[in-house]
Amino acid sequence: MLARVFEEHGLATTSISLVREHTEKVKPPRALFVPFPFGHPLGEANDPELQTRVMGAAFALLERETGPVLEDYPEDVYAGQNINLAQANSVPRPDVSDDVAFEVTRLRPYYEQWVSANAGRTAVGVTGVEQRRFRGLVRLLEAYAEGREIEQRRAIAPVRALGSGRPQGVLPGGTPAAKAGRFVPGIERVVVERDPKLDAIAFGIAR
Amino acid sequence: MLNDSAPFTPLRKALSESRLALVTTAGIHLRGDTPFAGGDQSFRAIPTDTPPSDIVQSHASIGFDRTAFQRDINVVFPLDRAREFVARSEIGSLSRTCFSFMGAQRPPYDRLLQETGPEVARRLRTEGVDVVFLTGT
């Protein structure tokens, strides 16, 4: 859709398509259909050679005289591999009874190691809530999920923030930080059942 | 959206003499910029020389794996790769500014098609851009 707007303004475009059917309907001028999952238009993280090949194939479409052009990226990137990318609904839920708020705190040193090893990349802070407030926010959410009284106005902004700012991490022993993940759907269910207006909160948490 | 025809601007010069801009619908922006909300048809400007640690993603959909972007922005927004294409003289130059929108839109697309999309197109033309490389999530 954006491609069409740009072409109308005299810009030549080439794009990556992850959903062939959608691209066939929308008909952008030049699109390279790739076999990669959502979140991976250029193939794989930290694989500059693959990313470069994909870009090269997309740029090659610019040599065509007329459009629309929809081509398949020719390389069989996953030949023989068992692809097992985690999507939100496929991560198994361990049976744990630990404290979610404490898990958030326990993740902190591993999170900080990750950040310093990865040139400062972090999703924490997108919503402006400081990390030191995370444990308190989780307690607030727990209270809400269990039907205890909380001050609603206080809840809304921090609740959205927790969903976006939760650090990604792996605890020692390789167990993903699953307790927070298990806890989040509990909040979602409670909010939707009790008050449809707070759908926005559940959405924000799920983020 | 079902289209019967496609507007088409041919690239009249070699890619090695062209200026490239990256535009993505991955819902990314500078740290500290306003996050995207669901149904948000606005855009964010991202200077091409922004360090990766200052680019975050606030795309409102929960349906895709974001960890690849966290590990390497180039899998979604290939700034480093684009610079390498320029270094190898396969692309002439990069724009000063790149842009991000949010994907997963539902109709009506009025603001995108009539306001924000054309505004970005105008800014890109002003920067002398010839080619736009578009990526989604």
**Interface confidence (ipTM) of the complex:** 0.92
Confidence of residue B127 (pLDDT cuts 50, 70, 90): very high
Between residues B124 and A22, which one has the greater pLDDT? B124
Q: Would you state the pLDDT for residue A75?
A: 84
Cβ-contact B12, B40 below 8 angstroms:
no
Between residues B32 and A199, which one has the greater pLDDT? B32
Within the 132-151 window of chain A, which residues sit less than 8 Å (CB to CB) from chain B? none
Q: Which residue of A has its CA nearest to B1?
A: A26
Task: Provide the residue range defining the domain that includes B34.
Answer: 26-135
CB contact under 8 Å between A39 and B56, yes or no, is: no
> How many domains in chain B?
1
With a cut of 70, say whether residue B8 has pLDDT above it.
Answer: yes
- The bridge status of strand A69-72 relative to strand B19-24 is unpaired
Distance CA B119, CA A190 (A): 42
Task: For residue B110, tell me if it sits in a domain.
Answer: yes
A127 interfacial to chain B (CB closer than 8 Å) = yes
Q: Which residue of A has its CA nearest to B33?
A: A126
**Whole-model pTM?**
0.68
Task: For residue B10, tell me if it sits in a domain.
Answer: no
A121 interfacial to chain B (CB closer than 8 Å) = yes
Q: What is the pLDDT of residues A116-171, one digit of tens each?
A: 777 777 766 665 566 667 667 767 777 766 766 655 444 444 444 444 434 333 33
**Candidate from A11-20, A23-32, B16-25, B113-122 with smallest mean pLDDT:** A23-32
Q: What are phi and psi of A32, to 5 degrees?
A: -105, 115
CB contact under 8 Å between B125 and A58, yes or no, is: no
Task: For residue B65, tell me if it sits in a domain.
Answer: yes
Confidence of residue B54 (pLDDT cuts 50, 70, 90): very high
Q: Would you state the pLDDT for residue B105?
A: 79
Q: What is the CA radius of gyration of chain B?
A: 15
B85 to each of A195, B15, B91, how far by Cα in Å?
52, 10, 6
Task: For residue B43, tell me if it sits in a domain.
Answer: yes
Confidence of residue A15 (pLDDT cuts 50, 70, 90): very high
